[in-house]
Amino acid sequence: MFYRECGNYKDSYASDMAIFPIPLDQYGFIIMMIFAFLVIPLTASDYWLSNIMIPFYCFGLSAIGLNILAGYAGQISIGHAAFMAVGAYASLILYGRYGIPLIPSILGGGLISSAVGTIFGLPSLRIKGFYLAIATLASQFIIQWIIVHWQWVSGGVFGTVETPDMQIFGLLINTPVKKYFLTLGWVVVLAIVAKNLVRGQLGRNWQAIRDVDYAAEIIGVNLYKDKLIAFAVSTFYAGISGSLITFCYYGAANIEEFHVMVSFALLGMIIIGGLGTILGSFFGAGFFVLLPIGINQVLGNFMAVVPSEILSNLEAIIFGGLIVLFLIVEPYGMARLWHTIKDKMRLWPFPY
């Protein structure tokens, strides 16, 4: 009844191109931001902040990166966790060893990851589809090996580096709330950048490449350039998310946290959340982070202690089952469900 374009006159180009053309959406967005910046930090417990919200934001950021590459540009990558690792180690080295301030260090982690990602994206100029997917899997193993075996990178045993104390302008970031704000700041800025990237010329080029690549080339899209940019942007996001998750959640860079299973989980997140949507990346990440906790809660009603075996197996079954279910029923994931709800809202309660 209230959610409709009716009476919403666009009288400038800016209002025509707004991300949220309908006022109710704008209010919703503002309320969500207030919620994220005020309500959650004030009300949530330390456990919720540091064990659920922070990994949720970090995986969401990483999923945006993978979504740009796989969902928008159509280049499947199954080595994305490795680029998170590159970002994590690079920012740790910059911050801990060279004493560069925290924010530039995280940014540097992203940029280095982006450089590495562009190099590993080079095969995409010649191959595509499954062959490319496997070539990206190569990046996972090569990067893992380099981090474990090059003393200069890992610095310690088995590729583990502790994070030093974090400081921004002398402000010590040590409580979950401060870490939460650090993560949230990055996520909000980068999510808005991503949303605008995929709405613009570049995003449309990517979608053209994804849909029919030779047709895209005929209408003047520079395939090589745009594919490499997709790899660069995507791995930049992965790098930032990797360094944030290391600084704010794990507390130490450990190569085991960036295992190939994480790459697969990221791919699962964007399928469940919605391929080719920024919002879907967050849905998928939220689902992935909340699933084990949800299963634990449900099973907790029946047994005192939930064995970790049952937990991880159930998690795998539900996660896998939902990937299949979504692909069959709703190939564009939760984000499309959300859009369907909005479309229904538009006509509610008088469907004519």
Residue with Cβ nearer another protein (174 or 312): 312
Q: Which stretch binds another protein (CB under 8 A): 85-93, 281-289, 293-301, 310-318?
A: 310-318
Residue 151-190 contact track with another protein, rule CB under 8 A, x = bound: ----------------------------------------
Q: Which of 1, 6, 303, 328 binds another protein (CB under 8 A)?
A: 328
Compute the least distance from the CB of residue 138 to another protein, in Å. 4
DSSP string, 211-266: H-HHHHHHTT--HHHHHHHHHHHHHHHHHHHHHHHIIIIISEEEGGGG-HHHHHHH
Q: Evaluate whether 246 touches 252 at the Cβ level (below 8 Å).
A: yes
- Alpha helical stretches, state H, 93-129: 102-121
- The answer to whether residue 215 forms part of the interface with another protein (CB under 8 A) is no
At residue 254, what are phi and psi to the nearest 5 degrees?
-135, 130
Q: What is the DSSP letter of 156?
A: S
- The answer to whether residue 126 forms part of the interface with another protein (CB under 8 A) is yes
Residue with Cβ nearer another protein (29 or 224): 224
Q: Which of 101, 251, 300, 320 binds another protein (CB under 8 A)?
A: 320
Written as six digits, the tokens of 227 are 């594919």
Written as six digits, the tokens of 269 are 């997140």
- The answer to whether residue 267 forms part of the interface with another protein (CB under 8 A) is yes
- The answer to whether residue 313 forms part of the interface with another protein (CB under 8 A) is yes
Nearest to 78, CA basis, from 206, 339, 343, 262: 262
Q: Which stretch binds another protein (CB under 8 A): 24-32, 45-53, 153-161, 315-323?
A: 315-323
Compute the least distance from the CB of residue 89 to another protein, in Å. 17
> Which burial class, exposed, middle or buried, applies to 263 when counting CB atoms under 10 A from its CB (0-12, 13-18, 19+)?
buried
Compute the least distance from the CB of residue 144 to another protein, in Å. 7
Residue with Cβ nearer another protein (10 or 126): 126
- The answer to whether residue 25 forms part of the interface with another protein (CB under 8 A) is no
Q: Which stretch binds another protein (CB under 8 A): 39-47, 89-97, 128-136, 289-297?
A: 128-136
Q: Which of 213, 291, 292, 337 binds another protein (CB under 8 A)?
A: 213
349 cis-preceded (ω within 30 degrees of 0): yes
- The answer to whether residue 294 forms part of the interface with another protein (CB under 8 A) is no
- The answer to whether residue 291 forms part of the interface with another protein (CB under 8 A) is no
Those residues with Cβ within 8 angstroms of residue 166's Cβ, 6 or more apart along the chain or in another chain: 95, 102, 172, 173, 174, 179, 182, 247
Q: Which stretch binds another protein (CB under 8 A): 27-35, 40-48, 120-128, 163-171?
A: 120-128
Q: What is the DSSP letter of 70?
A: I
Q: What is the DSSP letter of 340?
A: H
Q: Evaluate whether 59 touches 183 at the Cβ level (below 8 Å).
A: no
Q: What is the DSSP letter of 144?
A: H
Residue with Cβ nearer another protein (173 or 323): 323
**Residue ranges in contact with another protein by CB under 8 A:** 74, 76, 123-131, 133-135, 137-138, 141-142, 144-145, 148-150, 213-214, 223, 260, 264, 267-268, 271, 309-310, 312-324, 327-328, 331
